[in-house]
Amino acid sequence: MTQNKKTPRYREIADGLIADIVARRYAVGSSLPAESELCEQLQASRHTVREALRILEEGGLISRRQGSGSEVVADTPPVRYRQTVDTIEDLLQYGKQSRLSLLGTRELAAHAALAQRLRLPEGTPVIELRGLRSERGEARADGTRLPGRPFALTTIWMSAQPARRRDKLLHPDTALSTMLAALDARTLGRIEQAFTAVALDADAAEQLQTKKGAPSLCAERAYFDKKGALVLVARSLHRADLFRYATVLRHEAV
C-alpha cells in the first residue's frame, strides 16, 4: 500500500480556482481577484497563490498580464496532447534511412488556388521544387548502394522573394540546402498539416514506380515562422504500401 502524498496547499488552491471557473463563478473574459486579494481570501502567502496561478496559466485557463491582472480565458480545461520531435525530419518521419533527390525547380506565377494557399496575390512569382524521397537501398559488396525504392513525391512552393534566395532555389546545387535552411526548427513557430487519401495520377505514379490510380497518402503542410509569416507550403504524395505516418500524443495534465 503506497501512502498517498499530502496535497500541497498551492494545488488545493489551484483546484479550487479551477472548480470556480468551471462552475462559471468566474466568467470567461472576466478577471480573477488580484493576487493580494486571493492571499487574504485564502489565507495563503503570495508565493503560494502565485504557484497556484501558474498551474492555471499553464493549463490555459487564465492569462496573466503585468499591471493588468489575471483574465479567465477558458472555462473548460483544454485537453492538450504533445508531440515531441527532435528535428523536422523526425516530424516528417523520413529519418536517416531515406534521401531526397531533386527532380527539378522552376519559377511560375501563382494561379488562384496556389496564391490562396501561399497567402500571396494572384500572379506573384513563386518557386516550385519537386523532389523524390527514396529508401536508402542495400549496400553492395563494392561499397556502392543499390537504388532504393521511391516512396514520396514532394512538391514545395516558396515565395520568389527575396531575389537572392530565389536564385539559390533555382540553382540545382543550392536549392535543397536553401529550402532546408528555411525549415530550421528554431525558426518555425507553427505547422499546419492535413492528410488526405488520393488516387495517383499517371505522372506521380510513374515517379513512384507504381500504377496509376493506386491509393496514396497525401500530406499537405504549411510552415510558419515564429512571427506567423508563411515560410513554405509542401505537398507530399506517399506510396501507401511503403509509408505510414505515425505519432504519439501525450496527454498534459492541467
**Is residue 68 within the footprint of DNA (CB under 7 A)?**
yes
Q: Which of residues 63 and 155 has its CB atom nearest to DNA in the complex?
A: 63
Peptide bond into 162 cis (omega under 30): yes
Residues in the chain: 254
Give the binding-site size for a copy of itself (rule: CB under 8 A): 46
Q: Rank residues 72 and 110 by Cβ distance to DNA and give the closer one.
A: 72
Residue the block writes with cell 499537405:
220
Quick one: which of 158, 232, 172, 242 has its CA closest to 200? 242
Nearest residue (CB) to DNA, 73 versus 114: 73
Collapsed DSSP state (helix, strand, coil) of residue 30: coil
Answer yes or no whether residue 51 interacts with DNA by CB under 7 A.
Answer: yes
- Our measurement of the distance from residue 102's CA atom to the centroid of its chain's CA atoms, rounded to an integer in Å, reads 24
Span from 39-47, 142-150, 180-188, 213-221 in contact with DNA (CB under 7 A): 39-47
**Angstrom distance (rounded) from CA 111 to CA 234:** 16
Note whether 104 and 130 are within 8 A (CB): yes
Judged by beta carbon distances under 5 to 8 A according to partner kind, the member of DNA, a copy of itself, none in contact with residue 191 is: a copy of itself
Phi, psi of 49 (to 5 degrees): -65, -40
Nearer to DNA, 70 or 98 (CB): 70
From the list DNA, a copy of itself, none, which binds 249 (C-beta under 5 to 8 Å, kind-based)? a copy of itself
For 50, the grid coordinates are 502565485
Residue numbers at the binding site for a copy of itself (CB under 8 A): 60, 76, 78-88, 91, 185, 188-199, 213-218, 226, 238, 240, 243-252
Residue numbers at the binding site for DNA (CB under 7 A): 3, 5-6, 8-11, 32, 34-37, 39, 43-48, 50-51, 53, 64-70
